[in-house]
Amino acid sequence: MNILPIRNLRTKFVLAAILPIAGILLSGLSGCSTHDHGVNTNDPTIIYKTRGHLSPIKVNQRQIISTHNKFRAKYGLKRLSWSNELASYSQEWANTLKNNNACRMRHRPNNPYGENLSWASPVSWSDGKRSIQQLSSADVVNGWGNEDKFYNYQRNSCQQGQQCGHYTQMVWKDTTQVGCAVAICQDFSQVWVCNYNPPGNYIGKRPY
């Protein structure tokens, strides 16, 4: 098996939450945040498999549902169920972002559902080539859910300078269904889309 040491490996993970047509919970919930993960390449024990050993990224329905419901269970909320219709709807938009928007995140216009987006950079290798960053469906959903530390329930607001709109959509009490999709772009970046029905993040309402 071929192995290849990495130099200056850096990856990024970016999130965005849609604001429903009927209104927003707070101003600023639709912004993006970037998670930049560096690796200590001075450690000679760090080795990585070459691109030929990297598996394609796929949506894992079970991970999507279980990870959402992990956060919802903290507040005794009804479990979400998977919607094939929402998954197909999400795939349509993920493919649009891949084909027409260079995988840059942009929310679907006039979307009747709630929508969370994620973008992840490719992995840059020491030979100058790129490969797909190996994110699981649970990684993506946890990235949204971990915004819970930035949400203040009493004030119904996000911590200043932080996002929490992905999290509040995940735990929105009235939401019952979710469907998700992923598309891999030509540069090996990836864009994830989840849609929620009924949508959340309405003005003046708390998620639970």
Domains of the chain by residue range: 61-197
pLDDT in tens, 140-190: 999 999 999 999 999 999 999 999 999 999 999 999 999 999 999 999 999
Q: Which amino acid is at 11?
A: T
pLDDT in tens, 104-131: 899 999 999 999 999 999 998 888 888 9
Count of CB atoms within 10 A of residue 88's CB? 12
Count of CB atoms within 10 A of residue 166's CB? 28
pLDDT at 203: 87
pTM of the model: 0.78
Element at 49 (helix H, strand E): strand 48-49
pLDDT at 9: 43
pLDDT at 14: 60
- Given the structure tokens 């970046």, which residue do they identify? 189
What mean pLDDT is reported for the chain?
80
Judged against a pLDDT cut of 50, whether residue 28 lies above it is answered with: no
Q: Which amino acid is at 192?
A: W
Q: Which fold has domain 61-197?
A: Pathogenesis-related Protein p14a (3.40.33)
